[in-house]
Structure 1
Amino acid sequence: MKDRKEKALQRLARIEGQVRGIARMVEEDRYCIDILNQALAVKSALSQVELLLLQDHADECVEDAIGAGNAEEQRQKFQELVSVFEKVCR
């Protein structure tokens, strides 16, 4: 889980650089398709960060709720996952 956090932070730092690069491309009036391709790469990279965070949530928060035996907390954690999936599927 600590490994996932490190990976997420590394990816976010890389994404930050990519976004700055896209801004420069726009300022320089670069070819639209090149800019769009870079934006798609950022979108894909963010999806990977989302996956890491989702795995972390399942491994820690959901597992803790199951281990605690608290039915209300379990329902809440499950509902959080459902809400995220609803947003992803839109």
Structure 2
Amino acid sequence: MTEGRKKALNLLKTSKGQIEGIIRMIENDRYCVDISKQILAVQALLKKANLNIIDQHIKHCVKEAILKGEGDEKIDEIINILDRYVK
């Protein structure tokens, strides 16, 4: 497992714990703004995890495909992901 994937995995595990905490907050009828802040924090962790995965993909899979002269498909994949990311 690459370092980027390890980082993404840790971020996802942290997100999982935070989501479980958010569920408890809702079940305990906590203040809406506090719940919303926690949801935003989880979204930030998920974005960071996704960027780590994309970074690894570019540095390894895309780079390898380009060196083999087969990079067009991988570049299109990245463009599609970025298009989703900015929406």
TM superposition score normalised by structure 2: 0.95
Q: Report % sequence identity.
A: 37
Q: Distance in 1 between matches of 2:5 and 2:23?
A: 27
Q: Distance in 1 between matches of 2:80 and 2:69?
A: 22
5+ residue gaps, structure 2, are none
| Match in the other structure for 1:30 | 30
| Match in the other structure for 1:63 | 63
Q: Distance in 2 between matches of 1:63 and 1:19?
A: 35
1:7 paired to 2:4: no
Q: Distance in 2 between matches of 1:9 and 1:87?
A: 21
Runs of 4+ in 1 over 3 A off after TM superposition: none
Q: Distance in 1 between matches of 2:78 and 2:2?
A: 21
Q: How many residues align?
A: 87
1:23-77: CA deviation from partner (whole Å, max 9, x where unpaired): 000000100000000000000000100110010010111001011123xxx1110
| Match in the other structure for 1:80 | 77
**Could you tell me which amino acid in structure 2 is paired with residue 66 of structure 1?**
I
5+ residue gaps, structure 1, are none
Q: CA RMSD in A?
A: 1.0
1:89 paired to 2:68: no
Q: Distance in 2 between matches of 1:34 and 1:47?
A: 20
Give the C-alpha shift of residue 3 in structure 1.
1.1
